[in-house]
């Protein structure tokens, strides 16, 4: 199926398996275990020899459908779903790394991922060097003989910096390290990291794959083989498996993924272009704008700019809070990936625990606002933002 159909078709159709009832919509299997014909079949199932289902911590038919649909979209041979995006990253680290190993990671990644690498994994003797996303020579220089994993997100959140994934993949390959790309912000609709040379793609399915802010979920996709098999083994043993209900919601979410990502990107571009012309706005960060410093790379690597638009308002924190507090339509929340537009002040929320110096080094100014653009009409979003921009 993967070879013959376009992305839109795969999102709607890939991975579906019908039961004997011939249901048209994908079935939700709310069951924790499965029954066997006889003792011998049960023994084979537990030994991992049978192809039947055993227990939903290992896997479940609804989860299988979700995994196969996401694998098809990413152009991956295999996919393993997890309870959340963070558990997908944890699972990847647990199967690839051991005490004494070293990670090179972008410093512009999700806050909890930074915490995972710098506080949790370091307890187990795994060290991480954080480097600027766009500085290839620093990735190269950070490599040590024990480097096993390269990790990045592109574009970065909230500043929309774009990594040259193919170039970083080449450095990883030379270092003998696995490159894992968290593709949460683009989804396979806008960017397919495996085709650019990444080894693994990681998702927080909580965001755009669900798309309507309902459930938590995560996934890792990659080539069939030892790493993907070890991920299945990790879930079976350690247990951060996805709920079949959540997998079903995400499975159905993927049916509208392409149309949502393109429509949300289109709206984001319109809002970004409007903000860029506003006299109260000092700077707009959006990979889809002609003014973006990495315009050519973004256009080569991504099908559209995505739905995250950040901007600096003149007047610092006070001015930024005024814009946020004047909104009536847009939701004040840190979440993203929803069809409902959200607004947040990174300096006092997502990046609030950093010291002012670390924040400044990360480029998170007091006047910075992040929008995660949804599906409302552009004119209504502009009117909502205009109020506080004065
Ligand atoms: C939200 C997010 C995560 C974590 O996902 P959860 O599903 O909340 O655990 C990881 N990476 C990125 C880029 C995210 O936005």
Domain with CATH 3.40.640.10 in the chain: 7-256
- Is the distance from CB of 129 to CB of 279 less than 8 angstroms? no
Q: How far is the CA of 181 from the centre of ligand 1 (A)?
A: 12
Among 107, 111, 112, say which to mutate for ligand 1: greatest number of ligand atoms within 8 Å of CB: 112
As given in the structure block, the two tokens for residue 304 are 């559209």
The CATH architecture to which 257-389 belongs is Alpha-Beta Complex (3.90)
Q: How far is ligand 1, taken at its centre, from the CA of residue 113, in Å?
A: 8
String of DSSP letters for 63-83: HHHHHHHHHHHHT-SEEEEES
Measured CA to CA, the distance from residue 40 to residue 302 in angstroms comes to: 51
For the Cβ of 106 lying below 6 angstroms from any atom of ligand 1, the answer is no
Q: Token match 């620093």: residue? A: 138
Top-tier CATH class for 7-256: alpha beta
Rounded to the nearest whole angstrom, what is the distance from the C-alpha of residue 203 to the centroid of ligand 1?
Answer: 7
Atom of ligand 1 nearest to the CA of 207: 1
Residues 6 or more apart whose Cβ sits within 8 Å of residue 346: 158, 310, 364, 368, 369, 370
Q: Express each pLDDT in 189-226 by its tens digit.
A: 999 999 999 999 999 999 999 999 999 999 999 999 99
User: Where are the domain boundaries for CATH 3.90.1150.10 in the chain?
Assistant: 257-389
Is the CB–ligand 1 distance for residue 204 below 6 Å? Answer: yes
Supply the pLDDT for residue 69.
Answer: 98
* pTM of the predicted model as reported, rounded to 2 decimal places: 0.96
* CB of 184 closer than 6 angstroms to any ligand 1 atom: yes
**pLDDT tens track for 311-333:** 999 999 999 999 999 999 999 99
Of all protein residues, whose CA lies closest to atom 6 belonging to ligand 1? 85
**Separation between Cα atoms, residue 352 and residue 362, nearest integer Å:** 12
Phi, psi angles (nearest 5°) of residue 253: -60, -35
Q: Radius of gyration (Cα) for the chain, nearest Å?
A: 21
d(CA 245, CA 15): 16
Whether 107 contacts 134, CB under 8 Å? no
Which residue's structure tokens are 């993967």?
2
Q: What is the pLDDT along the chain (390 residues), one digit of tens a residue?
A: 556 899 999 999 999 999 999 999 999 999 999 999 999 988 888 887 667 899 999 989 999 999 999 999 999 999 999 999 999 999 999 999 999 999 999 999 999 999 999 999 999 999 999 999 999 999 999 999 999 999 999 999 999 999 999 999 999 999 999 999 999 999 999 999 999 999 999 999 999 999 999 999 999 999 999 999 999 999 999 999 999 999 999 999 999 999 999 999 999 999 999 999 999 999 999 999 999 999 999 999 999 999 999 999 999 999 999 999 999 999 999 899 999 999 999 999 989 888 888 888 888 999 999 999 999 999 999 999 999 998
Q: Could you tell me which residues come within 8 angstroms of residue 4 by beta carbon, excluding any fewer than 6 positions away?
A: none
Q: How many residues does the chain have?
A: 390
Ligand 1 midpoint to CA 64 (Å): 21
What is the distance in A from the centroid of ligand 1 to the CA of 118? 17
Is 207 a pocket residue for ligand 1 (Cβ < 6 Å)? yes
Does the beta carbon of 338 sit less than 6 angstroms from any atom of ligand 1?
no
Ligand 1 near 206 CB (within 6 A): yes
Residues 286 and 165: their CA atoms lie apart, in Å, by 18
The Å distance, Cα 317 to ligand 1 centre, comes to 26
Backbone φ and ψ for 246, nearest 5 degrees, come out as -60, -40
Q: What would the pLDDT profile of 113-168 be if each residue is shown by its tens digit?
A: 999 999 999 999 999 999 999 999 999 999 999 999 999 999 999 999 999 999 99
């Amino acid at each position: 199926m993967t070879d013959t159909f376009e992305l839109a078709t795969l999102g709607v159709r890939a991975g579906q398996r019908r039961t004997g009832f011939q249901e048209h919509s994908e079935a939700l299997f709310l069951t924790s275990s499965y029954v066997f014909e006889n003792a011998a079949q049960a023994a084979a199932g537990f030994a991992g020899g049978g192809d039947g289902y055993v227990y939903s911590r290992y896997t479940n038919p609804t989860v299988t459908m979700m995994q196969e649909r996401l694998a098809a979209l990413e152009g991956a041979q295999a996919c393993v779903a997890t309870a959340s995006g963070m558990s997908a990253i944890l699972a990847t680290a647990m199967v690839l790394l051991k005490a004494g190993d070293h990670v090179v990671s972008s410093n512009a990644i999700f806050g909890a991922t930074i915490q995972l690498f710098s506080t949790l994994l370091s307890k187990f003797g795994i060290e991480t060097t954080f480097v600027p996303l766009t500085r290839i020579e620093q990735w190269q220089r950070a490599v040590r003989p024990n480097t096993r994993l390269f990790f990045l997100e592109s574009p970065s959140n909230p500043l929309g910096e774009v990594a040259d994934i193919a170039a970083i993949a080449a450095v990883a390959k030379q270092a003998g390290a696995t490159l894992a790309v968290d593709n949460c912000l683009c989804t396979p609709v806008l960017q397919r990291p495996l085709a650019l040379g990444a080894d693994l793609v990681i998702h927080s399915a909580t965001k755009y794959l669900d798309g309507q802010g309902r459930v938590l979920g995560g996934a890792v996709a990659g080539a069939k083989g030892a790493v993907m098999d070890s991920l299945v083994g990790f879930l079976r043993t350690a247990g951060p498996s996805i709920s079949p209900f959540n997998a079903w919601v995400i499975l159905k979410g993927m049916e509208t993924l392409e149309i949502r990502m393109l429509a949300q990107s289109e709206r984001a571009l319109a809002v970004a272009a409007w903000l860029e012309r506003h006299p109260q706005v000092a700077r707009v960060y959006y990979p889809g704008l002609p003014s973006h410093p990495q315009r050519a790379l973004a256009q080569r690597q991504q099908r559209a700019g995505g739905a995250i638009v950040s901007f600096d308002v003149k007047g610092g924190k006070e001015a930024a809070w005024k814009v946020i507090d004047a909104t009536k339509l847009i939701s004040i929340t840190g979440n993203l990936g929803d069809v409902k537009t959200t607004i947040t002040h990174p300096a006092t929320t997502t990046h609030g625990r950093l010291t002012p110096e670390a924040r400044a080094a990360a480029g998170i100014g007091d006047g910075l606002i992040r929008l995660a653009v949804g599906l409302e009409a552009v004119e209504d979003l502009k009117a909502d933002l205009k109020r506080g921009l004065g």
